[in-house]
Amino acid sequence: MSQLTHFIDTQDFSKDELLKIIQLIRIIKEADKQSCTPKLLEGASLAMLFEEPSTRTRISFEVAMTELGGHALYLKPGEIHLGARESLYDTSKVISRYVDVIMARTLKHSTVVELARTATVPVINGLTDYNHPTQVVCDVVTMLEHAPLGKKLEEFNVTFIGDATNLASSLMMICTQLGMHFTFGGPKRYQPPEAWVKIVEENCKKSGGSFRVTEDPVDAVSKADFIYTDLWWWVGQEAEIPERSKAFMPKYQVNMDLFKKAPSHCKFMHCLPASRGVEVTDEVMDCDRSIIFDQAENRLHTEKGLLVYFVYPRLKRPSKELQAYHKGRIESYFEENFPS
């Protein structure tokens, strides 16, 4: 991995590369569970750029970097103006001189793409208006932990119910990249755009997975191993809430009536935050087949895996002799200029 690599979109990686990342995450999680997280990123720094706040993304990345022996710097909304008071190019170049890796959660996908184009350190996409790759890698890790008895990854049936969100785009793409069978259930107006469909259809040709879209939620969940939902509106869509609520409620709410239409082993997933009682009921979120909090925990292990995968191979590891040499020079400076 001598070549600079960013994590902007799962589509930038092959199935084999994604599986290698997932394998590393699972290895690190095993170490975590035994309180043996190695300090693989000791001395490294992470810049976390946020245009919008986030509970899971901020905490998971900051704790991950700390537990790996590094340091995370939180640049909250309003503290840094990407492309406003300073060009995005200049910001990217300057931050690259200070840190070893950048995580950016931006309103526009073009912003993180431009950061990655000009940065000289790895850039990790923490969410944009188009996709959420860190979350869906975490989701695959969680699915593997809760795999239906006797099923391989390529045999998983994953159903998403609701709106074609930035999460849904990433989920349908990674599932079809890995050869899974993905169903989208939602009202016609809020189904995936043609551009997304073309991408996943190409994925299916390569991986052997499948993809379908339906307006019938009962049909959508009929073979599901995992049912996933997300918020029905996002930042900037507040004016559409009445119209969206009318389109989704009650037909596309994941309630116990709909959940029971799925196979008895089916698990419920949500990336959180959730609007309880809106896209999903408390009864489903808190039932024994809900794995939402396993998902939330796995964000921490996922961020560790991503940080190690993209940063560890790039870190310089000076010899003890070289370290001693520079320490000696600094000590000599003080002895010569400030004698006791």
| Per-residue 3-state assignment (H helix, E strand, C coil) for 256-274 | HHHHCCCCCCCEEEECCCC
What is the tens place of the pLDDT at every residue in 46-61?
A: 999 999 889 999 999 9
Asked if residue 215 has pLDDT above 60, the reply is yes
Of 138, 204, 266, 271, catalytic: 271
Of 139, 230, 295, 301, catalytic: 230
Strands (E), 201-245: 210-214, 226-229
Instruction: Quote the CA–CA distance of 120 and 316 in Å, as a whole number.
Output: 15
Domain boundaries, the chain: 10-132+296-314, 147-290
147-290 shares the fold of 10-132+296-314: yes
Residue type, 324: A
Name the pairing type of β-strands 123-127 and 157-161: unpaired
In 3D, which of 51, 116, 90, 148 has the Cα closest to residue 310? 116
Pick the CATH number of 147-290 from 3.40.50.1370, 3.40.630.10, 1.10.40.30, 1.20.1070.10: 3.40.50.1370
Asked if residue 249 has pLDDT above 90, the reply is yes
Asked if residue 323 has pLDDT above 70, the reply is yes
Instruction: Quote the CA–CA distance of 88 and 99 in Å, as a whole number.
Output: 16
Query: Does residue 282 have an active-site annotation?
Result: no
Query: Does residue 3 have an active-site annotation?
Result: no
Task: Please report the pLDDT score of residue 86 as a whole number.
Answer: 86
| 289 CB neighbour count, 10 Å cutoff | 14
Whole-structure pTM value: 0.95
Which tokens go with 282?
Answer: 């408390």
C-alpha neighbours within 13 Å on the C-beta side of residue 307: 36
Task: Please report the pLDDT score of residue 2 as a whole number.
Answer: 45
Residue 1 pLDDT level (bands cut at 50, 70, 90)? very low
Query: Does residue 191 have an active-site annotation?
Result: no
Q: At the topology level of CATH, where does 10-132+296-314 sit?
A: Rossmann fold (3.40.50)
Query: Does residue 230 have an active-site annotation?
Result: yes
| 277 CB neighbour count, 10 Å cutoff | 12
Of 56, 100, 129, 135, catalytic: 135
Of 6, 105, 181, 270, catalytic: 105
Mean pLDDT of 177-202: 98
| 268 CB neighbour count, 10 Å cutoff | 21
Residue 3 pLDDT level (bands cut at 50, 70, 90)? low
Of 6, 58, 270, 299, catalytic: 299
Query: Does residue 105 have an active-site annotation?
Result: yes
What are φ and ψ of residue 277, in 5° steps? 85, 0
Query: Does residue 135 have an active-site annotation?
Result: yes
Residue 14 pLDDT level (bands cut at 50, 70, 90)? very high
Of 132, 181, 244, 270, catalytic: 132
